[in-house]
Structure 1
């Protein structure tokens, strides 16, 4: 862990972003990366700052770069910088840019000229790890040898000889009362403008049999509590009188809290060492895994003027994104089973999730579960449908089930109508329930069950995976032998000869523009009134194997595949792939089983590892 501490000493306030989620309130964010290829002077970015004009400045080990949203302009020692190994950047209230380095002290950029300060000018060291501007326009220069404070009256130095608990200062923070907090290798201290007060024993914790009090990060929450993150001891929360102590046992993602920040939504975010991030929402902690983060050292977190996260890494460039998109729900936070098969939304907005371990109802942020212990005949829920009468219909391997209020009703009379598992359930515009299985299609009208005639459709291995309805009232069946249209009298088959990309059709969508979308294991086919369009891995899909489709009106469509999630937008009289989501930018699994847009703002994504929820209209 000494290597981590040395790393922190060299690079103090690094901004690194998120995320993966293992909680019903957690979020995952799609990111855009910037590196040498986009114009950075180096991939090892150690400082990020946005000035009053909106420019973003990135410090590297070979100088600094200014980013205007499109391109980078680079500066180094040849341009007048005090040193190339930049550690920190800030702007004072006069619009002057301050740049700290590890090998030359400080540069002050006034207009287009750099003016330099170093140890000969009175600084405590030429190796400045970070810079901070307080509310009195004083510049605080942090080093391994103490602190230098630059103001209009000159330079004042603080060390362990005149107030600091230790010379190796790891973090600086100004609270809402204008007090200055520093975390050091030996506890923390607060400066009220006249004297320092140290906290060492109050922040002591045990790591591998040793007593330590290393404080790496400090922030303040909306209730004016001070949060102090440690090296292996979790986090301490100080209310002005007493300290409270939280560790992994209390829900933290890791006990090494390398960075902290207060988000615009007033939640506290903590960055860990090789253990992702943790969010505190005011009541409890939510852990975020690190599998989607390009570097496991989360050494800092910040938000720009628009609420976007700007994060830096040691060797992976810049990561930026907007928090609040993805949410992941799984067995670890209440879902009855991670193997999601089907999803529907009832009339009150509750989301029903059928899994191979039972069914979960998600409403008001919590799960209610139903399985054999509650009266279901089978835990293997293959299909789910929410109908107009507030019933929830479940298709299992053996039986049809209806949930209505607190009552569970079984339909044993359907057993002779189906060859095997009930693969699909659908309520049409006439409030008729359609039931599909292997080799059988049944319509429920009132209390009657009617098997649809059509011998060409019925053979044992021809599964009816999905049922839908077009604007003319035709029923469409997605099967292993192509797409079938039922007009109330006869069945008509559509396959390769009719332009489909494949005949193993998983889902069919009839949109409001008269287009038919056919999702198959060989790609996506869109039949418009004028032409047929095909999408495969050759022209934008992450995989030919498509599994499901969802839409938000006629302006936004999503395709689930075995390689990720695809977002498709209409363009003029055609369509284009707008975005692809995979493990790398937010999904918990690339193999998608089911999709559902809830009609409000969220897309629900079912897969083998539970659920993702993305707030697409937020």
Structure 2
């Protein structure tokens, strides 16, 4: 006899979110739930360029205090309608991104045991729930129905579920062998039929229609065309206790055992013994993501990731709640969901921006400047950690030990001859040329050792802005100094730019803007329309227009002799702007104390022409992957656009990278699901 019970549905209209953040939006009596979908496990594995270190995911965690019924999660599944289902030691939990709805033997008669071992969704959308002693439960069209030995199951301890290409459901039991469910009937296959062990631990149906059966003590069994083929340690398996199986798009099987990992390729097993991360670990779960990366959950060694070339790990030392990983799954936005023993539900979420910190190899998290040289190397100036150079995903660190005059770096610039100019805070200028750091004697005469800006004009002159010593021009081995005594508005120079006409523009901290033509200086301050006399950066766009970022006055444009200003009152995220970069889509990117913002140039033009009163500003902060929303500024190289189009921003907690192309493509639809309708506190049946 089978039991059935209907689900006590939660309210809502469900939406699938374009954002990686799961949240609830209430509209009248309907709630929208934003949960991304999971992808298939049969995905490519192979030649990838590691784009994101495992430490560069945003980590989130949910435990019993957040509504989970138990902190041990044995199975994770996202159903086709977008819910995240969790099989725990104390029942079933459904997660909508905001709250957990829990089902157990006390409130769900269709569940006969709270210890859930496996979850599986069949081709018709029914959810199958395997329990440790309570048999099998099916949730279909809102109703729970249970199946036990009384209904034909060989054993009530369910370990795994799979469905083959013919639509046949296979159930692995712990002690009762393998069970086939077809046309409403259960048929058992045990050692008497050729199975190596009646203790089935995992099942996997591959793309060729082969059913793979992992057992405890009996190794791996291959069921194809009605025949069973058995593999054990004699054939190359690391161990005869097989715990997990997955497959990549190239057809290779990955087999996790209680004594490490192996892959099955071209008819033979290859044990992965050369990995420091998972040499002999108990591999409890495997998942291949949509980028072809293999995720490996272990019992005691945390989570490992293999992209075809590199292996890295994520353990409690990096923030994982527990090193015993029992389940791994992925959603369509690339987020990795991790079920642990006693550690609850964990998520590694891909973020809009990428942040490099000391965890990835930076010498110090406080970054002040960034610059790409002609060879594509990223030069990073830090506040006390010297110069860091990022090349091919690895950092090299250079300090005073290597010849730098000071480890507190401000501007970085490469001249037309390939020489790197490094401005320091208190140590003047250091050059990098001929593969060594150098401090030429003639540069010792710079008017101040605190350097804020370095640039080169079209004539090959090097301009150096100092913090209190004015502006220096280096030409033909000689220095010429411009200060307040000979017409400069202020001796605290923050930025330098050259326009198309060859004029040199000099931004200052407190003295506004200067325009140098030859030795003639014209000053622009508040009375000329400058919104703030504290200029943080200058840039000239591809139309030849000068853009000015300020401390306190937002941004402004100098065009046809007129300043046009945009502030926070117009829609900017902040009035303190450190840098302005443009991308290939004619957008501007602004760094500030409150994050990084994108604004379309056409919106600025429309706003300036009074054709629009609204600025559409997209801002990125900690939620999007920044460790801190506070960017760094006050130097000429407070942001950088590299040859590949990516944008780099220094912050007080790491170096942030934004890919404008990725941001542009990140749009999703919103499928809607009605969970419950309530009118005057009365639930209405909407089925």
Q: How does 1:256-405 map to 2 (within 5 A)?
A: 257-272=283-298, 277-288=303-314, 291=318, 298-304=325-331, 306=332, 308-309=334-335, 311=337, 319=347, 326=354, 328=356, 340-355=367-382, 356=384, 358-365=386-393, 381-396=409-424, 397-404=426-433
TM-score (norm 1): 0.71
> Does the Cα contact within 8 Å between 1:259 and 1:299 map onto a contact in 2?
yes
Of 73, 77, 88 in structure 2, the residue corresponding to residue 48 of structure 1 is 77
1:182-206 CA-to-partner distances (Å, cap 9, x unmatched) read: 455557422334336353688999x
> Does the Cα contact within 8 Å between 1:478 and 1:508 map onto a contact in 2?
no
Cα offset, 1:284, TM superposition: 2.4
TM-score (norm 2): 0.65
**Residue 559 (str. 1) matches residue 591 (str. 2):** yes
Which residue number corresponds to residue 569 of structure 1? Answer: 599
Q: 1:126 to 1:615 in 2, by over 3 A?
A: farther
Q: 1:493 to 1:283 in 2, by over 3 A?
A: same
Which residue number corresponds to residue 199 of structure 1? Answer: 232
**Residue 123 (str. 1) matches residue 153 (str. 2):** yes
> Does the Cα contact within 8 Å between 1:98 and 1:108 map onto a contact in 2?
yes
Which residue number corresponds to residue 155 of structure 1? Answer: 186
Q: Larger radius of gyration, structure 1 or 2? A: 2
Q: 1:297 to 1:242 in 2, by over 3 A?
A: closer
Of 647, 659, 677 in structure 2, the residue corresponding to residue 603 of structure 1 is 647
Cα offset, 1:139, TM superposition: 1.6
Which residue number corresponds to residue 419 of structure 1? Answer: 448
Q: 1:37 to 1:370 in 2, by over 3 A?
A: closer
Q: 1:343 to 1:160 in 2, by over 3 A?
A: farther
- Please give the alpha-carbon distance, in whole angstroms, between the structure 2 residues aligned to 1:217 and 1:378: 54
Which residue number corresponds to residue 581 of structure 1? Answer: 621
Count of paired positions: 571
Q: How does 1:157-556 map to 2 (within 5 A)?
A: 157=188, 169-175=200-206, 178-183=209-214, 186=217, 188-193=219-224, 194-195=227-228, 197=230, 199=232, 215-221=242-248, 224-229=251-256, 234-239=260-265, 240-246=267-273, 250-251=276-277, 255=281, 257-272=283-298, 277-288=303-314, 291=318, 298-304=325-331, 306=332, 308-309=334-335, 311=337, 319=347, 326=354, 328=356, 340-355=367-382, 356=384, 358-365=386-393, 381-396=409-424, 397-404=426-433, 406=435, 410-428=439-457, 432-440=461-469, 441-445=471-475, 447-455=477-485, 464-468=493-497, 473=503, 475-479=505-509, 481=510, 483-488=512-517, 489-492=521-524, 499-500=531-532, 506-507=536-537, 516=547, 518=549, 520=551, 525-527=554-556, 531-534=565-568, 550-552=581-583, 554-556=586-588
1:411-446 CA-to-partner distances (Å, cap 9, x unmatched) read: 321212232233332335665432122212212345
> Does the Cα contact within 8 Å between 2:488 and 2:514 map onto a contact in 1?
no
> Does the Cα contact within 8 Å between 2:591 and 2:631 map onto a contact in 1?
no
1:463-498 CA-to-partner distances (Å, cap 9, x unmatched) read: 54444467885524253x465434440444569x96
- Please give the alpha-carbon distance, in whole angstroms, between the structure 1 residues aligned to 2:215 and 2:468: 71
- Please give the alpha-carbon distance, in whole angstroms, between the structure 1 residues aligned to 2:394 and 2:130: 50
Secondary structure at 2:150's aligned position in 1?
helix
- Please give the alpha-carbon distance, in whole angstroms, between the structure 2 residues aligned to 1:431 and 1:327: 35
- Gaps in structure 2 of 5+ consecutive residues: 1-37, 40-49, 558-562, 608-613, 633-637, 663-687
> Does the Cα contact within 8 Å between 2:335 and 2:350 map onto a contact in 1?
yes
- Please give the alpha-carbon distance, in whole angstroms, between the structure 2 residues aligned to 1:316 and 1:476: 56
- Please give the alpha-carbon distance, in whole angstroms, between the structure 2 residues aligned to 1:406 and 1:301: 47
1:147-200 CA-to-partner distances (Å, cap 9, x unmatched) read: 443243742335678766766654333445554444555574223343363536
1:81-100 CA-to-partner distances (Å, cap 9, x unmatched) read: 5569576544444x252421
With 95-104 and 76-85 compared, the bigger mean Cα shift is at: 76-85
> Does the Cα contact within 8 Å between 1:292 and 1:585 map onto a contact in 2?
no
With 116-125 and 69-78 compared, the bigger mean Cα shift is at: 69-78
- Please give the alpha-carbon distance, in whole angstroms, between the structure 1 residues aligned to 2:565 and 2:452: 31
> Does the Cα contact within 8 Å between 1:560 and 1:595 map onto a contact in 2?
no
With 137-146 and 289-298 compared, the bigger mean Cα shift is at: 289-298
Which residue number corresponds to residue 10 of structure 1? Answer: none
- Please give the alpha-carbon distance, in whole angstroms, between the structure 1 residues aligned to 2:658 and 2:315: 17
- Gaps in structure 1 of 5+ consecutive residues: 1-13, 16-22, 206-211
- Please give the alpha-carbon distance, in whole angstroms, between the structure 2 residues aligned to 1:556 and 1:296: 43
- Please give the alpha-carbon distance, in whole angstroms, between the structure 2 residues aligned to 1:517 and 1:35: 48
- Please give the alpha-carbon distance, in whole angstroms, between the structure 2 residues aligned to 1:188 and 1:399: 68
> Does the Cα contact within 8 Å between 2:366 and 2:651 map onto a contact in 1?
yes
